[in-house]
A and B are shown apart, each in its own frame.
Chain A
């Protein structure tokens, strides 16, 4: 089993979504996903990025980890530099709920990383040929 990792840290600003999206598509294409899957992964990652970013104005950085296993698929973690207050989760609830459902429908696994009641980020996984 060979695992390759890519780390990315960008300012938590909407204009840096482009950097995240481009990196995501480059890594996903290295991993061997086809174009439709790459579009899906990109969509899920930008949803997650916006999701984490919008929870709290205090988030300064987004930290992304991509892990690629040539046989299994790809894991992506999207974390905020600071913990996001769990109560903030309920701000603009309808929208964030929907965006979470979207992530869940296009990835094979999505979970919120919660640390002491604070949202830290989102972990997702996409398997090959899924």
Chain B
């Protein structure tokens, strides 16, 4: 009879263990539970094979996620453990993919070839006892030397460099120091030049309005008071001048 009950209630047993663990958070019990639930990690990890990451790595990530899930699981919330663990594990695997996947993606073919190149490199290094030459790699992989070199290059290009990366041997110059940026100065000079040339075409009142409004940042009301006119007048004048300037600008380009 005792055998019957113990075989029948494998799942129930786990529930009891889980309840116990949620109370005590005993590490030995956790390890036992991890072993019991490892099959979940295995099943999920297997769903993600053939996406460019080895099964062993996926299984490891999934197992670690399982441990995390167990540690965060609270039986009193009323969820089943597997319903809690599944999204956690999938989430961790996805994060892993995100971290692992390259920012610049290579074509699938290139990726596969790179893998082969890597294998060939390891294999030849071991058998030759030194780093292989491109010609040897080419011969081993049945490709041309150019193809090998191109592959090696594409591997480099897919890895983004850090801006703090030193580009010289003395570790003095950082990559960021030599990267160009758009120079605003030129466009500033051109704009200034344009404004200077059109300001000449405005009469004194117009010039004054523009100058006070946009160089001294004064309000229309303020300028109107100084010039003894209504604010409406300044407003209309300003619109008229801006229209004129716009028109001139369009014609100048």
Contact = CB atoms under 8 A, between A and B. Distances in A.
Interface residues of A, number: 12
Contacts of B90: 102, 105-106
B82 interface: yes
Chain B interface mostly: helix
Interface stretch (B40-48, B123-131, B186-194, B200-208): B40-48
Contacts of B97: 36
A17 to B, nearest CB: 13
Interface string A81-112: 00000000000001001100110111000000
A101 B43 contact: no
B77 interface: no
A44 to B, nearest CB: 10
B231 interface: no
Contacts of B43: 98
Contact of A43 (B40, B47, B80): B47
Q: How large is the interface on B (under 10, 10 to 19, 20 to 34, 35 or more residues)?
A: 10 to 19
B82 A98 contact: yes
Contacts of B48: 43
Contacts of A69: none
A63 interface: no
Contacts of A56: none
A102 B91 CA distance: 11
Interface in B186-242: none
B83 interface: yes
Contacts of B87: 101, 104-105
Given A97-B82, A98-B40, A105 B47 contact: no
A105 B51 contact: no
Contacts of A106: 90
Contacts of A97: 80, 82-83
Contact of A105 (B11, B80, B86): B86
Given A36-B97, A106-B90, A101 B83 contact: yes
A47 B44 CA distance: 11
Interface in B15-46: 40, 43-44
A36 B53 CA distance: 13
A33 to B, nearest CB: 15
Contacts of A101: 82-83, 86-87
Contacts of B83: 97, 101
Nearest to A39: B51
A13 B47 CA distance: 19
Nearest to A47: B47
A102 B83 CA distance: 9
A39 B51 CA distance: 8
A98 B51 contact: no
* The 7 A-B residue pairs with the shortest CB-CB distance in the complex, in nearest-first order: A101-B86, A105-B87, A105-B90, A101-B83, A105-B86, A43-B47, A98-B82
Interface of B: 11, 40, 43-44, 47-48, 51, 80, 82-83, 86-87, 90-91, 97
6 contacts: A39-B51, A94-B82, A102-B86, A102-B90, A104-B87, A105-B90
Given A47-B47, A98-B86, 14 more contacts: A36-B97, A39-B51, A43-B47, A97-B80, A97-B82, A97-B83, A98-B43, A98-B82, A101-B82, A101-B83, A102-B47, A104-B87, A105-B86, A105-B91
